Amino acid sequence: MTALDLSSPVAVVGTGTMGQGIAQVALVAGHPVRLYDTAPGRAQAAADAIGARLDRLVAKDRLTGADRDAARARLLPAESLAELADCALVVEAVVERLDVKQELLRELEGVVDEDCLLATNTSSLSVTAIGGALANPGRFVGLHFFNPAPLLPLVEVVSGFATDVTSATRAYETARAWGKTPVACADTPGFIVNRIARPFYAEAFAVHEAQGADPATIDAVLRECGGFKMGAFELTDLIGQDVNESVTHSVWQAFFHDVRFTPSLAQRRLVESGRLGRKSGHGWYDYAEDAERDEPHTAEKRQQPAYVVAEGDLGPASELLSLIREAGIPVREEEEDHGTRLVLPSGGQLALADGQTSVEFRDVVYFDLAVDYRRATRIALSASQDTAPQTLTEAIGLFQALGKDVSVIGDVPGMIVARTVARIVDLAHDAVAKGVATVEDIDTAMRLGVNYPMGPFEWSRRLGRGWAYDLLDELHVREPSGRYAPSLALYRHAYASDKREGSTS
């Protein structure tokens, strides 16, 4: 099954931001495009807005004047659904209400030809449920573009329960022909990106609610240590707290209140207070012109330790040993069967976040996971009230000697980046096991859809097959609500790996 021929008209119903963006993508790809909106004058206004954006593309040398003129000639506002009768593809981008979408599709089915592909750009509703209103749901598919559609490459091609393979394939190939990067996905709450991305927000909010750190510090750690482009608090302020919470609530509800997707009470309070983020002038942060910028907690300068003793290779943090040597700090290595820690001159220990807490041990400071310890500019440390002050001082001084800013947070199991990455990896394995998408498509979706530094399975391979399972298992012991219980898929992944290694040793 091939992509739609460029001579085939494409229609977009609903002319808001997403509708206009999708129409522009199809238009620039070379299709005749029809715009329809129930509100009088909206389709024409959308066509004018798209034309203005084409002018800006010409000004930036991203489109020739001739191509712009040809595109404008192919763009036609429609005054009724009847004018969409000859379209080969109709994408609806109307309000996120099941009844509205179903009613629209029933009307469309009576207008277009039998071989016309019908699609929805929904981000939160079930494709199966929307298509359930159709006499022929086999030709109905989800085409979930990301905002802004002309710029972001990812398109989730979602097959409902009744979607024909030929329809999904045609939609997939058409998206690819439009210059997008499509990924195939089964109809599941949140599809790929909005399902697997929930822990990025949820764990940041949980650390804050537990008084582990303030939003500015958590955001800085996610960016400067975790390698994420934005922190969870600043990103949700940009998205809109009401929008982000609505997606979280929708996924949680669709999974029958699965505790792994439980919404944040702190975020609910923001929404209730009208603090919706940038668009309202206040969210987690204050965006007033005279507002003082919130800064992350950064430890004052400390003396570096005279040496460290490395027990084991530090696992995913093994690169630190090279960095410590390069900083001129002697490293004494001792082989330990189960050792993955640094011993400081005071006798205190430094260990990579593993889901346990400092208070459980005599004198341990935990450090957070980094996507790349060499490139990271900030490291988070956690300690308990019982941690010796000298141990914490030496730990801070060690990472400062490596050129890192240091943020000391509360005694939070799994810290910030480590628990976030572990949960993302777990949900990704669970999604593959349940047939939601392939490993490759999930990695692609998370890199392109939310700009993660790497896909969940890339992380899994880099960190070791048992790393996420072990950390979540420890977290589950300390918070046995089920939120951190590793999935059966992750358990099988880690156990099978151990079994194979045991059989070859």
Q: Write the DSSP assignment of 391-413 as a string of letters.
A: HHHHHHHHHHHTT-EEEEE---T
194 is catalytic: yes
394 is catalytic: no
Q: Which of 121, 124, 126, 144 is flagged as catalytic?
A: 144
Q: Which of 123, 126, 159, 460 is flagged as catalytic?
A: 123
Q: Which of 92, 156, 203, 245 is flagged as catalytic?
A: 156
Nearest to 472 by CA among 463, 459, 484: 484
Q: What's the predicted TM-score (pTM) here?
A: 0.94
156 is catalytic: yes
The residues with which 384 forms a beta bridge, in sequence order, are: none
Rounded distance between C-alpha atoms, residue 125 and residue 129, angstroms: 8
Q: Considering all CA atoms of the chain, what is the largest pairwise distance in Å, rounded to the nearest integer?
A: 80
Residue type (1 letter), 77: P
Q: Which of 126, 194, 264, 487 is flagged as catalytic?
A: 194
Rounded distance between C-alpha atoms, residue 440 and residue 478, angstroms: 33
Residue 138 token pair: 């086999």
442 dihedral zone (left: phi>0; alpha: psi -120 to 50; beta)? alpha
Q: 471-474 long-range contacts, Cβ below 8 Å, gap at least 24?
A: 471/353, 471/354, 471/355, 471/414, 471/418, 471/419, 471/422, 472/355, 472/422, 472/423, 472/426, 473/355, 474/354, 474/355, 474/356, 474/413, 474/414
For helices 417-433 and 456-463, what crossing angle results, to 10°?
110
CA distances (Å), origin 390, targets 349, 410, 440: 11, 17, 46
Q: What is the DSSP letter of 184?
A: E
What b-and-e string marks burial along 148-179, b requiring 16 or more CB atoms within 10 Å of the CB?
A: ebbebbbbbbbbbebbbeebbbbbbbbbebbe
Per residue of the chain (505 residues), give pLDDT as tens. 699 999 999 999 999 999 999 999 999 999 999 999 999 999 999 999 999 999 999 999 999 999 999 999 999 999 999 999 999 999 999 999 999 999 999 999 999 999 999 999 999 899 999 999 999 999 999 999 999 999 999 999 999 999 999 999 999 999 999 999 999 999 999 999 999 999 999 999 999 999 999 999 999 999 999 999 999 999 999 999 999 999 999 999 999 999 999 999 999 999 999 999 999 999 999 999 999 999 999 999 999 999 999 998 889 999 999 999 999 999 998 876 566 899 999 999 999 999 999 999 989 999 999 999 999 999 999 999 999 999 999 999 999 999 999 999 999 999 999 999 999 999 999 999 999 999 999 999 999 999 999 999 999 999 998 999 999 999 999 999 999 999 999 999 998 855 554 443 3
Is the Cβ–Cβ distance between 335 and 357 less than 8 Å? Answer: no
Q: Nearest-5° angle of CA 316, CA 322, CA 328? A: 140
